[in-house]
Structure formats: structure tokens, C-alpha cells
Structure 1
Amino acid sequence: MVLTVLLAVGCSHDAIMPDVEVARVASPDLQADAVLTEANPGATASFIYRIRIVPHGADWRSVPSAAELYGATRNAQAYGVDLHWQDANNVRADYLQGRVMKPAAAAVSVAGRAVTLQLRSGVSNPAAPAGGMAPEPKQAR
């Protein structure tokens, strides 16, 4: 019984790893930002990517995600999602493959207007570096 509780507590820590901001792209009119965060649940699970649309320069932590993807990749070696603004009201999230956990909201209200987010799979980014998008933690000396 005690071992079961200890294992559950140890595993639950991995499931609640905090998100890390890995990309922020400003809209063409500098009124909004598309923010991509990455969560690393541990060695037995893949990265979770969340996309938020916030006022330009604003903190994303209190804003619900507009979409979530599990295990999204940009090429055969790179995890992640690439964000691109089409115009001031439309942002696109490109990825090669992955599982959509939370589909894109129809529109997000930000900076006094509705912004749409389109998820587009099948898009490879051969220049994306291998691994996750978050920087590796620095080793203590």
C-alpha cells in the first residue's frame, strides 16, 4: 500500500510539469502575440504543446490555451510547432504530425478583436533542430 502511494506521488510529479514558453510571435500590427508553450511530462510521455493568444507582451500564464497538441513534430528529429501570423486576425500553427488534444478555438478575443487559429498538419520544417523546443537546463558546476 505504501509503495503504491509513493509510486503514484512520484509519477504524478511528471504529469504536472510546468509549461515553458518556447516561442512568441507578434501579430503584424503588434497588438497580439501567439505564444507556444512546451510541457515535458517525463521520459515515458511526449511533449505537450499549448498555444495561447494574448495581448502583445502580456503574460500567458493566466490565459487558457486556444489549442493543445501532444507529441507534435516539425521534422523526423524535432518536436514542436511553428507559429505564423497570416494577417492581424489570423494565426497558423504548422506541424508535421501529432495528436490534437484540444482543437483550435473558433476564435479568441484579444486586443478588442477576434483572432482565429488554424492548426495545419503535414508541414515539415527541415531546419528545426533535433529534440524539444525548450532549452536544456544548464548543468551545475
Structure 2
Amino acid sequence: MHATRSMAPGWRPALRLFATALATCLAGCGASQPGADVEVARIASPDGAVDAVLTEYNPGATASFVYRVHVVGHDDAWDSAPVAAELYGATRNASAYGVDLHWRDAGTLEARYLRARSIEVPKSKLDIDGHAVTVVLRAGVENPDAPAGGMAPAP
């Protein structure tokens, strides 16, 4: 029992040092790793009632970009809005990732892209404060003017 007591004080500084190093690493690593979605496009509907918002999530070097389409009230935050469509690995041309948003009319949003590895459409019909919006995905649309890489600005 005496041996345990004499060893414990020696371990405490080491344990504190380890805990501090771990906390520092986690805080620093979290800031430099890919993380949360970033808003990369926002377009108001023709009547100005709602906004279409496109976000980009960068999961890191071993995976492709994830694009999420949200529809929100004009100038509202998108982070609590449901995802209308999610496109993994969507491209706009041979060297540009992303999705282009266009309003066909005040109630129809079109998400245009060349190709995508996978697509999920959890909620294509939305009601935003009494404003009905249908989200339509349109593959095979090339945007030759889209710059290479992802849509989010470089840090």
C-alpha cells in the first residue's frame, strides 16, 4: 500500500502533462482538419421570398466533396434547415467540383451538375413559411467556366 502512495504523486504530473498535450492537440487538430459545411452559394428566388443555399463539406483528402442543398427564408441561416438534396462527388466540369443552383420560377429550384457519385433527395418538396418549393436535380449539365477544385474559397 505504501508503494502505491509513493508512486501516485510521480504519476500525477505526467498525467497532467499528457492531458494538457492531448487537449492542445485536439484543439489544434480540430481547427486544421476538414469539418463543418461551408456556404458556397446563395441565390434568392425570383420573388425574393426564399433563398437556395448550397453548402460544401470537405471530408478530407481521401474522399470527395459533399454538396447539400437547403432552402430557407430570405437571408435566414441554413444550418438548422433540412437538407433537400445531397450530392457526393458532384462535378461541374472535368476539373471542377460543385453544383450550380438556378431558379426555374419562384417555386422550382434546379440543381445542375455534370456527374455525381451518389445522390440523396430526402426532401424535394419544401414549405418555407407558406412558400412551396420543389427541388429538381439535373445531371449532365457542364459548366465550362467553373474554376478547378472545390467551390469553397481557399483558407
State the TM-score, normalizing by the size of structure 2: 0.76
Structure 2 unmatched ranges of 5 or more: 1-25
> Which of these residues, 73, 76, 84, is aligned with residue 102 of structure 2?
84
Q: How many residues align?
A: 126
Matched, 1:98 2:120: no
CA distance in 1, matches of 2:104, 2:34: 33
Taking a change above 3 Å as real, the CA distance of residues 59 and 108 of structure 1, as seen in their structure-2 partners, is: same
TM-aligned CA distance change 1:129 to 1:95, over 3 Å: same
Larger radius of gyration: 2
Runs of 4+ in 1 over 3 A off after TM superposition: 13-16
After TM superposition, give the deviation of residue 23 of structure 1 in Å: 0.2
- CA displacement, residues 79-99 of structure 1 (integer Å, 9 cap, x when unaligned): 000000011000000000003
Deviation, 1:104, is 5.7
- Give the drift of 1:17: 1.6
- Residue 68 of structure 1 is matched in structure 2 by 86
> Structure 1: which 5+ runs fail to align?
1-8
Give the stretch that moved more between structures: 14-23 or 78-87.
Answer: 14-23
Report the Cα offset of residue 41 of structure 1. 0.2
Per the TM alignment, residue 103 of structure 1 is displaced from its structure 2 partner at its CA by 1.8
Higher helix share: 2
Aligned equivalents of 2:125, 2:34: Cα separation in 1:
27
- SS, match of residue 103 in structure 2: strand
Q: Matches of 1:27 and 1:88 in 2, distance apart?
A: 5
Instruction: Indicate the SS of the match to 2:90.
Output: strand
Verify the 8 A CA contact 1:74 1:126 in the aligned structure 2.
Answer: yes
Structure-2 change in CA distance of 1:95 and 1:21 (3 Å):
same
* 2:49–2:131 contact (8 Å) kept in structure 1: no
2:151 equivalent in structure 1: 133
Question: What TM-score comes out, normalization by structure 1 length?
Answer: 0.84
